[in-house]
Amino acid sequence: MAEPPAALLGPLLKPVSRSFYLSLRILPRGVREPVGLAYLFARTADTIADTRLLRPADRLVHLEALRDAFLAGAAVPLTRLPAALAAHQENPAERTLLLVLPEAFATYQALPAADRAAIRRVLLAITQGMRMDLSTFPGEGEGRVVALETRADLDRYTYWVAGSAGEFWTDIHLAHRPALAGWDAEAMRVRAVRFGRGLQMTNILRDIPRDLRIGRCYLPQEELAAFDLTPTDLLDPRSLARLRPLLADLLRATLAHYDEAWAYTRAIPRREWRLRLACAWPLLIGLRTLDLISRAESLLDPVAAAKISRGALYGILTRSAVRMISDAALDGYYRTLRARVRLPAGAT
């Protein structure tokens, strides 16, 4: 397998991913390349979908060009993307992502067929979620807020943009890590979908105020209506009191996803310690974020972001690494962080 240039999977990904880059670095070498490439393509698609200087309809056209390249297995649809989009990027790292896209695609084409197929599947699923974003929500400058209609819409969205990534992660590791031969592949793929959904729900709950101000509300319209709320009401931070029952329900659902994700992590053999850490870290970091979300008195205020500090992040990395040699110690650490997330009386 041709090795990707260091700039693709090293310094380039670090500035566009805070926590995933940590997991990528610790992964076993044999899976680091296909996982890193898949993430690079997903981040590139995200950059295309978020190019605010272009109308959503134009972004959809460019997103389709990226999808077409993977459907056709040819780089031709990609030749115009860097020139069309790079100049519109304010973030230098995202501009670079676009500029190296043809080189990254050439590296992808040199991968084994099974790895290419896995990357293609996950990229098509993730970009389907981005299609949903661009077709459901208004443009960022239109001055209105639109919500997803139902919980089923939310579940569909979180599968496309994150649950599918859990399936990809599992398929790649099963293909490359013989120590996982004893896994029940289908059961672990189901847990992996829950893993991805849990992490995506954490992002959604953390980013409520930021998303509202670009016209997007991922909290379902029919569930907001049950509490006499509209998406526009959530622009007022004082609406948090009325939102709390729905927020508590979504936190419970997210923690249920985390518990399945933790079962996934515990099923990884201890000798696969790199993979264990790569799975444990986003969950432990996510629990600390859910703790902040559950306690936030200004969750709807865009100035008061529920974001863990760099010191807290590195503390989690250190404590989990020390506990990695003991299943009981690592599990105890997970339980401690989980218990800190505030839920209504009687919730588990």
Give the model confidence (pLDDT) of 187-203 as tens digits. Answer: 999 999 999 999 999 99
Distances from the Cα of 44 to the Cαs of 37, 99, 101, 167, in angstroms?
10, 10, 8, 20
As a whole number, the mean pLDDT across the chain is 90
Give me the CATH code for the 137-348 domain, please. Answer: 1.10.600.10
Lowest-pLDDT range of 1-10, 93-102, 105-114, 203-212 = 1-10
- The pLDDT of residue 75 is 67
- Domain ranges within the chain, ordered by starting residue: 1-112, 137-348
- The pLDDT of residue 101 is 84
Q: Is the pLDDT of residue 186 over 90?
A: yes
Supply 127's token pair: 């970009």
Which of the four pLDDT bands, split at 50, 70 and 90, describes residue 212?
very high
Which of the four pLDDT bands, split at 50, 70 and 90, describes residue 58?
confident
Q: Which residue has the higher pLDDT, 49 or 173?
A: 173
**Among positive and negative, which fits the CA dihedral 112, 186, 218, 303?**
negative
- pLDDT, tens digit (0-9, with 9 covering 90-100), for 75-112: 666 767 776 777 677 677 777 777 888 888 888 999 99
Distances from the Cα of 13 to the Cαs of 17, 24, 300, in angstroms?
6, 10, 30
Supply 313's token pair: 């992040």
